Structure 1
Amino acid sequence: MAGLWPDMAVIAAGIALRQTDRWWFGPARDRPFHHRAPGSLRAVMSLQRERLNDVTPLLLLLGQWLELAGWCLVAAHGGPWGRAAAALAGAVAFRRLQEISHFAVHGVLARGARLNTLLAEVAVHVPLGFVPVPVRRRRHVREHHPNATVAGADPNLAELHRAGLRAEAGTLRRVLGMLRPLTPAGLSDTVRGLAAPLRLPGTGRLRVLGPVAAATAMALVLGWEAAVFAFLIPRLLLYPQLAWMSLLVEHRWFDPEPAVGPPVVVEAGRCLRLYPRNTLLSLVARGTWLPYGDLYHFAHSAHPAVRWNYLPALERSLYGPGYRPHALLLGESAVLRRHCRALSSARPAVVPAERTGPDIP
């Protein structure tokens, strides 16, 4: 255990580096903010415009990769338990990177549009093998956000349908659909997604080398254990499952309440809010599988231009959503149980043709 202290120091340094962005955007350090109705959209956007910069986002991403490097060292030096811990930490790191780049796609990670795209590509999309940022922006911002839960229009709902979460599927198929990334079919989807750049024209094909280069660099510099347990296993199995779980708890996918009106009203009928009063589970979710504002998806859906730092305060001023489950799986109001009940009473949906590459929320 004593030999792991240098590795833990690297992890601690990465965590500390990430806090610069949190501190800079934290409303608590801006006293005038407390006199501007901090939960109001106008106050949030005003403070966000004042705080947007090009330095702390870079430190945030560097800190995340530095922390992952520390876990790579733990995988190399920590034996079986260290490798298991590194695999879990790697999956969480990739979830965080996914969500950070998600806000870059919305244009609120850094100040300039070009820098948002560059940071997302270099620090997340290329090394992790995601689709190009413009493709993700089109699918997520232009196709998903206005059409969330709308069959035939929402690409995320189409992904759920193709995974077996549809009305005509049996119970076993639905259970497997909720664990899709861990199944052979799900793993095949993940590998096909990583290989999708081969179908791009010209230099776009070179994007497939991103994850290969990242894994190779880890193996050469930090050892094969780092490449296998802190990168390959998380990227191929564990991270996709965490991302899939996040997708499942974003919306009332199969029983939305259609509404007409401002975005808050519309999203209140098709979103949900997990763990509304359970502080412990909320903290665990925010630190692992629902990071960087993903727990506050209702507030994000209603106001996509708001950075994750201000979503909790904004949510407190919003009315809704009506569905506020206390659990993921167990209990009468649990999200997955509700999905199953909704599917049991739903009519078969039309599934659009399969897309090239995975849809990343």
Structure 2
Amino acid sequence: MLLSLAVIAVGVALRQPDRAWFARRRPHAAGSSQLIALQRAHANNWTPVLLLTGQWLQILGWWMLAGQGPLGATAAAMGVAANFRHLQEISHFAVHGVLARTARANLLLAELFAHHPLALGPAVARRERHVRGHHPNATLVGVDPNLTELRQAGLRPGATRAGFATALLHPLTPRGIRTTTATLIANLRRSPGRAAAVGAVLGTAYLAGGWTAVICGALVPRILLYPQLAWLSLLVEHTWFDPDPRTGSPAWVEAGRCLRLYPRNRALAAIAAATWLPYGDLHHYAHSAHPAVRWNYLTALERHLGPPHFAPDGLLLGGRSVARRHLDALTAP
């Protein structure tokens, strides 16, 4: 157990040079132009490699812990799921072109460290869907691919309370599991490189912690837990079903269709940032307003911009929670 914890600690340590490098001369609050200039001055291809290597070292440590009994297996399932979610979000910034110094390096790192081993689709296709499809069209019915995905899962006007509750857990439902599995199989069939990368992941998990690591540390996180974390993160990006349509500057437009979770609860914000809303995903409004800003600077940008039109303190519970607002919008006459 001590060795597995040591490997996790080394992985955490490897992530810190990227954090420290981009923290140099970072202001407390600033506009996008100043932050992008600072970001470009610090852009490089090496600290992102250390960052991504650190994430996979943490996963290796969790695989080693999985073989240490039921508690270790349970902790590994949750720990690996969170790290898969981290890899998804890091590659999201690579798709935006702000992870590494060059466009080629961004796509290469996204494919090598996230899209291939997690059997995700091609990074270039994700860039087309996300950067060109979602960002300029967020919350627009029939145009925004993310909103289409939510509606297909049952989050549409006229939904019942039972249907809404089921849709919140869509990746864990039989329908959601079938969708995840079918997508994985299709991606593996289309790409021998992805199949080889997934084989290497499963083989390494087995060597590190046996079949328990393969099942609890790889398959369960990839098929069940990580998709659910990603689904929750999608739900808290926007007021999907009742945005405030606006015209004007990008920040003003996005302020009318974005939300900011846990603005007054530092403890819950810290937990979310460490698990299911990592690498700036907690600051989605600032990201939506200025997608070319790296996650390291979103907090400073958010202080400069101010809050969006909805800043809830809760995800599922409470009259002003995200779930309550979505439910009210979908069930309104």
TM-score tier, shorter chain, comes to: over 0.9
State the partner residue of 1:197. 187
Mapped to 1, the partners of 2:266 and 2:187 lie a distance apart of 41
State the partner residue of 1:359. none
State the partner residue of 1:159. 149
Residue 220 of structure 1 and its aligned partner are, at CA, apart by 3.7
Residue 197 of structure 1 and its aligned partner are, at CA, apart by 2.5
State the partner residue of 2:102. 112
Mapped to 2, the partners of 1:199 and 1:23 lie a distance apart of 40
Residue 305 (structure 1) aligned with residue 292 (structure 2):
yes
Are 2:29 and 2:304, in contact at CA under 8 Å, matched by a contact in 1? Answer: no
- Point out the more displaced range, 161-170 or 105-114: 161-170
1:316 to 286, 300, 303: 303
Q: How does 1:177-326 map to 2 (within 5 A)?
A: 177-197=167-187, 200=190, 204=191, 206-326=193-313
2:111 to 121, 125, 129: 121
- Give the direction of change, closer, same or farther, for the CA distance of 1:261–1:212 in structure 2 (3 Å limit): same
Are 2:86 and 2:279, in contact at CA under 8 Å, matched by a contact in 1? Answer: yes
Residue 47 of structure 1 and its aligned partner are, at CA, apart by 0.9
State the partner residue of 1:55. 46
Q: Write the deviation string for residues 162-197 of structure 1: whole angstroms up to 9, x where unpaired.
A: 001111332211111110011111110100110123
- Give the direction of change, closer, same or farther, for the CA distance of 1:212–1:176 in structure 2 (3 Å limit): farther
Q: Any gaps of 5 or more consecutive residues in structure 1?
A: 347-361
Q: Write the deviation string for residues 258-280 of structure 1: whole angstroms up to 9, x where unpaired.
A: 10111101100000000011110
- The alignment covers a number of residue pairs equal to 333
> TM-score, length-normalised on structure 2?
0.97
1:15 to 12, 16, 29: 12
Are 1:10 and 1:69, in contact at CA under 8 Å, matched by a contact in 2? Answer: yes
Q: Identity percentage over the alignment? A: 55
Q: What residue identity is the alignment partner of 1:247? A: L
Residue 217 of structure 1 and its aligned partner are, at CA, apart by 3.1
State the partner residue of 2:58. 67
Are 1:197 and 1:205, in contact at CA under 8 Å, matched by a contact in 2? Answer: no
Mapped to 2, the partners of 1:231 and 1:264 lie a distance apart of 39
Residue 298 of structure 1 and its aligned partner are, at CA, apart by 0.1
- Give the direction of change, closer, same or farther, for the CA distance of 1:115–1:275 in structure 2 (3 Å limit): same
Residue 42 of structure 1 and its aligned partner are, at CA, apart by 2.1
SS in 1 for 2:101: coil
Are 2:261 and 2:311, in contact at CA under 8 Å, matched by a contact in 1? Answer: yes
Residue 210 of structure 1 and its aligned partner are, at CA, apart by 3.3
Are 2:74 and 2:216, in contact at CA under 8 Å, matched by a contact in 1? Answer: yes
State the partner residue of 1:147. 137
Q: Any gaps of 5 or more consecutive residues in structure 2?
A: none
Q: What residue identity is the alignment partner of 1:113? A: A
Mapped to 2, the partners of 1:223 and 1:199 lie a distance apart of 26
2:163 to 164, 168, 173: 173
SS in 1 for 2:84: helix
Mapped to 2, the partners of 1:190 and 1:250 lie a distance apart of 21
Q: What residue identity is the alignment partner of 1:68? A: I
SS in 2 for 1:42: helix
SS in 1 for 2:256: helix
SS in 2 for 1:306: coil
Q: Write the deviation string for residues 132-182 of structure 1: whole angstroms up to 9, x where unpaired.
A: 001100000000000000000000000100001111332211111110011
Q: CA RMSD in A?
A: 1.4
Are 1:197 and 1:206, in contact at CA under 8 Å, matched by a contact in 2? Answer: no
Mapped to 1, the partners of 2:86 and 2:254 lie a distance apart of 24
Q: Write the deviation string for residues 84-132 of structure 1: whole angstroms up to 9, x where unpaired.
A: 0000001000010000000000000000101100000010000001010
SS in 2 for 1:317: helix
SS in 1 for 2:116: helix
Mapped to 1, the partners of 2:189 and 2:63 lie a distance apart of 32
Q: What residue identity is the alignment partner of 2:2? A: W
Residue 311 of structure 1 and its aligned partner are, at CA, apart by 0.0
Residue 199 of structure 1 and its aligned partner are, at CA, apart by 6.5
- Point out the more displaced range, 116-125 or 167-176: 167-176
Mapped to 2, the partners of 1:326 and 1:91 lie a distance apart of 24
